[in-house]
Amino acid sequence: MPHVSEVADGIYQIEIDEAKTSGTAEPLRCSTVYLIVADGQTALIETGPAVVAPVVLGTIRRLGHDPSRLSYILLTHIHLDHAGGAGTLAHQCPQLQVLVHQRGARHLVEPSRLIEGTRQAFGERFEDEYGPIVPVPEGQVRAVDDGEVIPLGERELRIIYAPGHAPHHMCIYDTKSQGIFSGDALGTPPIESNIVLTVAGFDLDSALESIDKLSQLNPKVVFFSHGGVSRETARLMQSLRANTKAYGDIILGALKVGEGKEQMARRLGAYHSKLIPGEYHLEEHRFEHIIPWYVAHFKRKGVA
Ligand SMILES: [Zn+2]
């Protein structure tokens, strides 16, 4: 059973634990899907992987809405944990449109490259755990671009192109809650009130630009795609930006003098201890998965 809560007026957060749904022993990150309701119209933000599609449909019904009347699915990006169920849901709800940034649209209709990339990231047998990636019928895909406004009842959903985590990543700004559905553009929710880690696997420069662009909207709330919401948005984005930039500087500096992952992790830990002296120690293993993202970025750029 997913955990469902109304996190803002007419916005339902559906948190689904993939591990529990698929019965795997390995705990996986939870996927979060949002149902937006406005004057009897409904839209979904994200779908989670295909394996959770029945849970998503059942939850929409339990909340008193008919999935066969869903108007839209809006995807922040096409990665498996956010959008893997788009094709499955589109086939079951042929009236709905799947909205995705124009740079990602063709991969939903013809997902062979997406499936190949998913195999590399999630393993050869990803379908066993997450379900298949099914093509979205071309007539149901609508490519959108920065600044486009999607009316939904009394609400307006504005498309904010926010690359960095992926070149086709977008966020969605809801006028009624003045909130941002951030996908992976603003990292995952703060693990401690004062600590924010960084944006996942990315192009550093565009990730920083996207954080700035989203900050300028002064959102009242951030709805994360991996659980949680934040209402301390100014502080969130400030520390996310500072961290992301500082990690980059530290890791680039370390790369240039030939330091390895362990030394980098120690330097990042020291950075955090300096930020909050004596109060908080961020264990170095917390940085293990972060460092390769930065190293890959600097190698691609040819600066290290
Ligand atoms: Zn992603």
Q: Which residues, other chains included, contact 15 with Cβ-Cβ below 8 Å and sequence gap of 6+?
A: 2, 3, 4, 30, 31, 32, 227
Residue 59 alpha carbon to ligand 1 centre in Å:
24
Q: What is the pTM of this model?
A: 0.93
Distance 203 CA to ligand 1 centre (A): 13
Tens of pLDDT, residue by residue, the chain (304 residues):
789 999 999 999 999 875 444 444 343 456 899 999 999 899 999 999 999 999 999 999 999 999 999 999 999 999 999 999 999 999 999 999 999 999 999 999 999 999 999 999 889 999 998 999 999 999 999 999 999 999 999 999 999 999 999 999 999 999 999 999 999 999 887 666 556 778 888 899 999 999 999 999 999 999 999 888 999 999 999 989 999 999 999 999 999 999 999 999 999 988 988 877 665 667 788 888 889 999 999 999 998 8
Sheet holding 155-161, edge to edge: 149-152, 155-161, 170-174, 179-183, 221-224, 229-230
Separation of CA 39 and ligand 1 centre (Å):
31
Tell me the domain boundaries of the chain. 3-257
The alpha carbon of 151 and the centre of ligand 1 are apart by a number of angstroms equal to: 26
Question: Any idea of the CA torsion for 142, 145, 151, 157, to the nearest 10 degrees?
Answer: 120
3-257: CATH, from 3.30.428.10, 3.60.15.10, 3.90.190.20, 3.30.1150.10: 3.60.15.10
Q: How far is the CA of 160 from the centre of ligand 1 (A)?
A: 16
CA of 185 to the centre of ligand 1 (A): 9
